[in-house]
Structure 1
Amino acid sequence: MDLSFSFFWQQVTSSPAVMITVFLTLCVIFLNGCTDAPNAIATCVSTRSLNVDAAIIMAAVCNFAGVFVMTMVNSTVAATITNMVNFGGHSDQALVALSAALFSIVVWSALAWYFGIPTSESHSLIAGLSGAAIALQGGLSGINGAEWVKVLYGLVLSTVIGFFSGYFVCKLVAWLCRNMDRRRTDGFFRHAQVGGAAAMAFMHGAQDGQKFMGVLLLVICLSNGRENASGVGMPVWLLLLCSLVIGIGTSAGGKKIIKSVGMDMVRLEKYQGFSADIAGALCILVSTVFGIPVSTTHTKTTAIMGVGAVKRLSAINFKVVQDMALTWLLNFPGCGLIGFFMAKLFMVLF
């Protein structure tokens, strides 16, 4: 199968279906940079370890590096996404269904960004793809249950483990520094938190970048007449393209989400921000190595809640948490239904 950029570009320029699908995929990657990637640096900004513009530039660079480096080392998350659904049938119908799934994610993510609510493009992607596959196949035969189980594992990892890892890492840091001068530790944690935020941004790129590369790889396979991307390697130009788009998205639209996650939800001190970053990055690293697609939004925000709970539960702004939880709860059924009905509509229109 031809995986060269020249062949890909030829397919984009010669097939309206491929062009629309690729455009929507790049829009989703861009919106992921706007709404998901800023979670990585929110705590760093809220504790004034970095100003917002410098933090966004750092996140864009680290997201780029995370996508590129981690995929070269371990691309199992991308494989999970490409194998999770089977559109089957003719490749042109599959591209139409895939476009519908991506359209649902763009609509959902744009609304979440507008209202400043950090939604999960990871779960939106999974739900939208599943809804479109069900519409195309006329039932659950388009869903690979073995791969979907990993999504459920990821949902638990990114919430429960995110919270408790944030709680215990913060407890450990506070215990280790219990006899130290507060002014000296603040200076140390200011610099340490920049490193922690960079690690979190790197792991966001490694996890979320792979998901959307998996979608683009599926587009390439469908345009080559293949039904899935099993056993297909990831071309380097695809890594660079996804890395660049997610970095631009972070640079363009991160400030609203930084405010919601880093400033409104919990007021953090520098050591607490460092604890949340390290806890979140470790959870995502483990998930990525084992090929489990997790939500970086859920992981980071629940890690922040865990850190806030160390002091007292009342330190958490539960109104912000409630808004986020409602968005997360509606994510799967909302995007799944939009993906399903848009796939039905697109197949009639095109």
Structure 2
Amino acid sequence: MDTILLLTILVVVFALAFDFINGFHDTANAIATSVSTRALKPRTAIMMAAVMNFVGALAFTGVAKTISKDIVDPFVLENGSLVILAALISAIAWNLITWYFGIPSSSSHALIGSIAGAAISAAGFGILNYSGFLKILQALLISPFIALAGGFLVMSIFKVTLKNKNLFKANKRIRYMQIGTAALQSFTHGTNDAQKAMGIITMALIAAELQTSDDIQLWVRIAAATAMGIGTSIGGYKIIKTVGGKIMKIRPVNGIAADLSSAMIIFGATLIHLPVSTTHVISSAIMGVGSAQRVKGVNWGVARTIVTTWIITLPISATIAAIVYQILNLFF
């Protein structure tokens, strides 16, 4: 079999594996708050998230096009298939490591750092599309702070609105509303996260000269959406525990405030074709909600671990990808 064709097939397989792992790694993002408040049973929440992730993944392609061309130009990248394969191996490895330890790490940071690291290892720093790459980095870095502020603002509004209400009765009614916000959260997760694998596969097809534009083919969209949906259906219970309970004690009103604020930010990023870390947006929204409720109520030790992982994921994944590329280059 032709080496480029073999590499392209491997890229498609590993990209779908990445999407599958992303599904169970990031399931907690969409449903942790609704599970922790017992608005939904874990299995019910996971199955709903799987369906809504699938629907969201099929609805948009803007983020996929950004991934496919804004980090490096696949039309000029030599050994493009090998670079992409190295990036996927690195991102999958980091996702599995952080999942094993129950750390809500960002699949987006891992993938984008890995693409950059593998490309630099192959062709030097000049290969990066700096305008596009910096735009993506800005979205990844700024969005958690916006989420923190958004969660604080929405929770503050809820506090004023519910000030004279019976908190027990209000929480009981809001618990039912959480089913809707969890579904919305899952949909927005699909609109942003599943597109990253679509963009990677499209990069590989362009590098192998199997297509000449950055359009996302229908089979790519369906395959990535299906992989994300199946992965989500398995669920990542370790991360659900961290996001849903270890950052702060979440009540229904806190959960719905976090879901609404983070869903708006993720969907807003999707509309302007920018990838964001759903993990860090939702975790930051929960921290913002907790700060509005009671600053001491937030477990800042867990928050510090999440932030530390947020900072180190890009350089670590880039380094792993650079090493993996050099190893693969010995064989191909």
**Counterpart contact for 2:27–2:46, Cα < 8 Å:** no
Range that drifts further, 249-258 or 260-269: 249-258
Superposition map of 1:288-299 within 5 A: 288-299=270-281
2:38 equivalent to 1:52:
no
Alignment correspondent of 1:42: 32
Residues 58-67 or 154-163, more deviating: 154-163
The 8 Å contact of residues 82 and 215 in structure 1, kept in 2 or not, is answered as yes
Give the residue type in structure 1 aligned to 2:278. Answer: T
The whole-number CA distance in structure 2 between the counterparts of 1:57 and 1:88 is: 39
Rounded Cα–Cα distance in structure 1 between residues aligned with 2:145 and 2:126: 31
2:127 to 135, 142, 146: 142
Which string of whole-angstrom CA distances, capped at 9 and with x for unpartnered residues, describes residues 3-28 of structure 1? Answer: xxxxxxx999x932122211211111
Structure 2 residue 240 is matched with structure 1 residue 255: no
**Residue 347 of structure 1 aligns with which residue?**
329
| Unmatched tracts of structure 2, length 5 or more | none
Matched, 1:26 2:16: yes
Counting only pairs closer than 5 Å after superposition, residues 163-174 of structure 1 correspond to structure 2 as 163-174=148-159
1:195 has 2:185 as partner: no
1: CA distance between counterparts of 2:253 and 2:197?
A: 33
Task: Report the Cα offset of residue 155 of structure 1.
Answer: 2.3
For 2:291 and 2:106, the matched residues in 1 are separated by 23
4+ residue runs over 4 A deviation: 87-91
User: Any gaps of 5 or more consecutive residues in structure 1?
Assistant: 1-9
Which residue identity lines up with residue 211 of structure 1 in the other structure?
K
Task: Provide the residue aligned with 1:6 in structure 2.
Answer: none
Give the aligned CA root-mean-square deviation in angstroms: 1.9
SS at match of 2:27: coil
Cα shift at 1:88: 5.9
Q: Tell whether the 8 Å contact from 1:87 to 1:136 is kept in structure 2 after alignment.
A: no
Paired with 1:151 and 1:122, the residues of 2 have a C-alpha distance of 10
Q: 1:129 aligns with which of 115, 132, 135?
A: 115
Instruction: Check the 8 A contact 1:40/1:204 in 2, yes or no.
Output: yes
Give the secondary-structure state (helix, strand or coil) at the position aligned to 1:37.
Answer: helix
How many residue pairs are counted as aligned between the two chains?
A: 331
**Aligned amino acid, residue 144 of structure 2:** T
Give distance in 2, aligned partners of 1:124 and 1:67.
Answer: 19
* Secondary structure in 2 matching 1:38: helix
Q: In the aligned structure 1, how far is the partner of 2:75 from the partner of 2:117?
A: 14
1:113 matches 2:103: no
| Percent identical | 34
SS in structure 1 at match of 2:135:
helix
- Aligned twin of 1:176: 161
> Within 1, Cα distance between the matches of 2:325 and 2:81?
10
* Distance apart, 1:225 and its partner CA: 5.4
**TM-score, L = length of structure 1:** 0.90
Q: Summarize deviations over 1:46-91 as a string: whole Å, max 9, x none.
A: 111111111111111110011112x1xxx22111111121356676
Of residues 271-280 and 313-322 in structure 1, the stretch that sits farther from structure 2 once superposed is 313-322
CA contact (8 A) 2:91 2:111 kept: yes
Q: SS of the residue aligned with 1:104?
A: helix
Q: Does 1:205 align with 2:187?
A: no
